[in-house]
Amino acid sequence: MAFGPYLLLASLEGLVTAAVLALMALGLSLVFGVMRVVNVAHGEFYMLGAVIAWWSASLISGHPALGFLLALVVSPLIVAAIALLSDRLVLRRLNYEPQATIVATIGLLYIIQQLALTFYGPDARPVQAPFDMRLALPWFGYSAYKLAIIAASIFLIIATWIGLTRTKAGLVMRATQSDPDTAQAFGIPVDRVYAVVFALGAGMAALAAVLIVPIQQAHYLMGQDPLLLSFVVVIIGGLGSLRGTVVAALFIGLSDGIISMFFSPTLAKMLATLLVALVLVFRPQGLFGTAAR
């Protein structure tokens, strides 16, 4: 294969990564933006999403699309319910104090991971893609499902954006984000908004996982790398800025796809991590964010 098509393949793979990453990071960013909570367990919600997708797809025999559709509905709902429960049982009792919640979500991370290992096991298991089609490009064939992931992600991002900017619920969330005390004074149930946002963020991670699980198998440790990457995305995009998050996901996904195709993935990860730390040191508001309040 010549260099051009090779680059095209790398960019397509990068776009798929970016699509999933954007969804996951959007959840993380939403939780951070509205609640000021750094959810370290976000990667585990993603992993749970994939594991539950495998479980619900295995319930149905017949056409693979049926199992996939069931997973698409069930998995985010269950994960959101678990997130809601952990918000009620743990985070709310800590009054969403930033440092305490980080410690608590680290605890959550360990518990979820271990339970997944105990009940799901150490094996990686696949979910069948809803349709099996290859688009014949002049140089190589490419899975149509991967392109569908990109389309679905774009759709979901636009839906989130509309939800946040054009609906009452979005208005309530933005009000809570900019000043929880005043929002409370105007009769907004800040407590309930937090719970919904936390569940929503976890649900988005689960949704991203359901989309990816037909091309990347479900495994109990699969949450770690995406967690780090979505931190990277959220920080570079500016903590709490949705537009920045999407742009950064595109940038990171594409460069990850291209760099790891041409260089050592460990080196790529190492440089990316260091770069992000330095961005945070010298430009704490992120590359696209506005100055911190």
Partner 1 sequence: MTPGTKALWVHLCLVVLLFALNFLLPEYHRGILSRVMVLSVFAMGYNLAFGYAGMLSLGHAMFFAAGLYGAGLTAYHLGWSVWPAFGAGFAAGTILAVIAGILALRTKGVAFMIVTLMFAQTFYLATLYFTTYTRGEEGLVLPQSARALSLFGISFSLTDPTVRYMLALVLLALVLFALLLLVRSSFGRALVAIRENEERMRMLGYDVFANKLSALIVSAAVCASAGAAYALLFGYAGSGFASIQYSILPLLWVLLGGAATTLGPIFGTLFMFYAVDITSSYTDAYMVVVGLALILLILYFPKGIAGAIRERWLPWLP
Quote the least distance from Cβ 214 to partner 1, whole Å: 29
Counting contacts by CB under 8 A, is residue 221 touching partner 1? no
Counting contacts by CB under 8 A, is residue 100 touching partner 1? yes
Counting contacts by CB under 8 A, is residue 273 touching partner 1? yes
The window from 23-31, 63-71, 105-113, 181-189 that contacts partner 1 (CB under 8 A) reads 105-113
Q: From the list 77, 178, 278, 290, which residue makes contact with partner 1 (rule: CB under 8 A)?
A: 278
Tell me the three-class secondary structure of 47-92, residue by residue: HHHHHHHHHHHCCCCCCHHHHHHHHHHHHHHHHHHHHHHHHHHHHH
Counting contacts by CB under 8 A, is residue 95 touching partner 1? no
Which residues are CB-neighbours of 187 under 8 A, at least 6 positions away?
none
Rounded to whole angstroms, how far apart are CA atoms 187 and 89?
24
Rounded to whole angstroms, how far apart are CA atoms 193 and 230?
23
Helix (H, G, I), strand (E, B) or coil at 218: strand
Q: List phi, psi (to 5°) of 142.
A: -130, 140
Rounded to whole angstroms, how far apart are CA atoms 175 and 184?
9
Quote the least distance from Cβ 118 to partner 1, whole Å: 5
Q: From the list 95, 118, 138, 181, which residue makes contact with partner 1 (rule: CB under 8 A)?
A: 118
Residue reference for tokens 């760099």: 259
Counting contacts by CB under 8 A, is residue 255 touching partner 1? no
Quote the least distance from Cβ 93 to partner 1, whole Å: 6
Q: From the list 197, 235, 248, 249, which residue makes contact with partner 1 (rule: CB under 8 A)?
A: 235
Length of the chain: 293
The window from 4-12, 97-105, 196-204, 210-218 that contacts partner 1 (CB under 8 A) reads 97-105
Counting contacts by CB under 8 A, is residue 59 touching partner 1? no
| DSSP secondary structure letter of residue 291 | P
Q: Specify the residue, 111 or 185, whose C-beta has the smaller distance to partner 1.
A: 111
Helix (H, G, I), strand (E, B) or coil at 124: coil
* Residues at the interface with partner 1 (CB under 8 A): 36, 38, 90, 93-94, 98-100, 102-104, 106-111, 113-115, 117-118, 228, 231, 235, 264, 266-267, 269-270, 273-274, 276-278, 280-282, 284
